[in-house]
Amino acid sequence: MSSILTNNSAMVALQTLKGINKGMADVQSQISTGKSVATAKDNSAVWAISKVMESDVKGFKAIGDSLSLGQSTVAVARNASESITDLLTDMKSKIVAAQEDNVDRGKINDDVTALKNQIESIVNAAQFNGQNLVNGSTASTSILASLDRDSSGNVTASSIAVAGQDLSVGGYVAKAAFTGSDGASTAADTFATTLDAADTTGIDVVIPAATTFADGDKISITIGDQTVSHTVTQEQIASTTTSDLIATSLKSKIDGLGIEGLVVDYDSGTAGGLNIKSATAVPGPPAVLATANDLSITGQFVNAGAGGLGALSSIDVSDATQAEAALATVETLIDTAINASASFGSAQGRIDTQADFISQLSDSLTSGIGSMVDADMEEASARLQALQVQQQLGVQSLSIANQAPQQLLSLFR
């Protein structure tokens, strides 16, 4: 039966053409985006898995940066410790030469002193991005090494711990009188506190008495990212006002930093007494410090001769007795430097291995994501051509179906 109200052939042709056009849209989307799963509606399960993996890849790239920073930090420390080992070996050869009676021990001692100064210079300069692993100030540092995801989807970070080594001539030794606090004293060689921008009461820093110090001891105070220090001399130790001399020296140097809104007061009534505080505007509220954040203030006491290579300061080959004692001392120092180099070398090897693994893991994850969501361009090309032919035939079929009712007119002529 033919009808002018219902054209079944046209409806079938139209639905077929809609299906072809939808397929064309899908293929064109794959070609333009390069992905077979570009959004969650394409395949929600695959899309969700791929997004989790993509977040992991970005995380591993950040870990790669962390490992690169760690590699550089440890490499600086290893190079420094190896250089110190070489210098100590050179020093040993000079000390051995000083065992002979028919030598100029004075000139040899001058060479030894030059080597000692060079070692101290290396220790002080061996920092990367502000972190020094060879001067005894850092017990250990952690380097972010991996993100571990369990079967439940929980993620934990793992790190590689690198032990710091003390190759300094001066060490951080507890000095009970050295304090820096908002009121409570601490029996330690270091202090760390924070100065609020509105803190007009301030932080008290008390310098120890003369009996606490030895020649060459150093006090350092760091305010924000700037550091001032004072090295104690034998003449100051002999003075009855040692702590006052140190305090006024530190005050002058802190004032010289030019930190806006920071005031350093010297209390002449308290031996070695300093007070660091925020300025007070008159009239009005406390002035705002130059930094938008609170200022971190730390202090450290470096005791001369107490570091891992502290015995270096006692080496002297100016006479036969001291030259003989120096030989045993330098052997111990060489062992200390070698052990430090070996420790840094082991840590650097582990970091290098982890960095290579993280790089390969990121590539594997990226490849896995691609296999799930990337479009097969060869298949897309072939399918596009087939759909284009189908589309042309569908249009022709619909055109034929739409002409069928017109043929009924011939029945009424």
pLDDT in tens, 49-106: 888 888 888 888 889 999 999 999 999 999 999 999 999 999 999 999 998 888 888 9
Residue 162 burial by Cβ neighbours in a 10 Å radius (0-12, 13-18, 19+): buried
For 275, phi and psi rounded to 5 degrees? -130, 120
How far does the chain reach from its first CA to its final CA, in angstroms? 19
Given this model, what pLDDT does residue 120 score? 86
**Higher-pLDDT residue of 261, 289:** 261
Beta bridge partners of 181: 204
Q: How far is CA 24 from the centre of its chain?
A: 50
Distance in angstroms (rounded) separating the CA atoms of residues 100 and 95:
10
Q: How far is CA 127 from the centre of its chain?
A: 13
Distance in angstroms (rounded) separating the CA atoms of residues 164 and 340:
9
For 40, phi and psi rounded to 5 degrees? -65, -30
Q: Is the CB of residue 166 less than 8 Å from the CB of residue 179?
A: no
Given this model, what pLDDT does residue 185 score? 38
Q: How far is CA 120 from the centre of its chain?
A: 25
Distance in angstroms (rounded) separating the CA atoms of residues 182 and 177:
15
Write down the pTM of the prediction.
0.64
**What 3-state class would DSSP assign to 163?**
strand
Q: Is the CB of residue 145 less than 8 Å from the CB of residue 60?
A: no
Q: Which two tokens stand for residue 221?
A: 């105070």
Given this model, what pLDDT does residue 283 score? 47
With a cut of 50, say whether residue 177 has pLDDT above it: no
Distance in angstroms (rounded) separating the CA atoms of residues 115 and 330:
12
Distance in angstroms (rounded) separating the CA atoms of residues 186 and 205:
11
Q: Which two tokens stand for residue 187?
A: 């029996």
Given this model, what pLDDT does residue 292 score? 47
**What 3-state class would DSSP assign to 48?**
helix
With a cut of 50, say whether residue 282 has pLDDT above it: no
Given this model, what pLDDT does residue 79 score? 96
With a cut of 60, say whether residue 375 has pLDDT above it: yes
Length of the chain: 413
The domain locations on the chain are: 8-34+375-412, 47-169+309-367, 171-303
Distance in angstroms (rounded) separating the CA atoms of residues 348 and 342:
10
Match 């120890």 to its residue by tokens. Answer: 208
Tell me the pairing of strands 131-132 and 127-128.
antiparallel
Which of 134, 109, 105, 113 lies closest to 122 in space, CA to CA?
Answer: 134
Q: Is the CB of residue 109 less than 8 Å from the CB of residue 379?
A: no
Per DSSP, helices labelled H in 256-292 are none
Q: Quick one: what percent of the chain has pLDDT higher than 90?
A: 21
Statement: 47-169+309-367 belongs to CATH 1.20.1330.10: yes
With a cut of 60, say whether residue 293 has pLDDT above it: no
In this structure, the number of other CB atoms found within 10 A of the CB of residue 367 comes to 10
Q: Which two tokens stand for residue 271?
A: 């031996």
Summary count for the chain: helices (H), strands (E): 7, 13
Output the CA–CA distances (angstroms, integers) from residue 411 to 214, 403, 406, in the order listed: 125, 15, 10
Beta bridge partners of 203: 276
Match 């009996």 to its residue by tokens. Answer: 211
Output the CA–CA distances (angstroms, integers) from residue 9 to 12, 23, 214, 252, 400, in the order listed: 5, 21, 106, 99, 9
Give the Cα-Cα-Cα angle 379, 384, 386 (nearest 5 degrees): 95
With a cut of 70, say whether residue 376 has pLDDT above it: yes
With a cut of 60, say whether residue 259 has pLDDT above it: yes
Distance in angstroms (rounded) separating the CA atoms of residues 174 and 167:
18
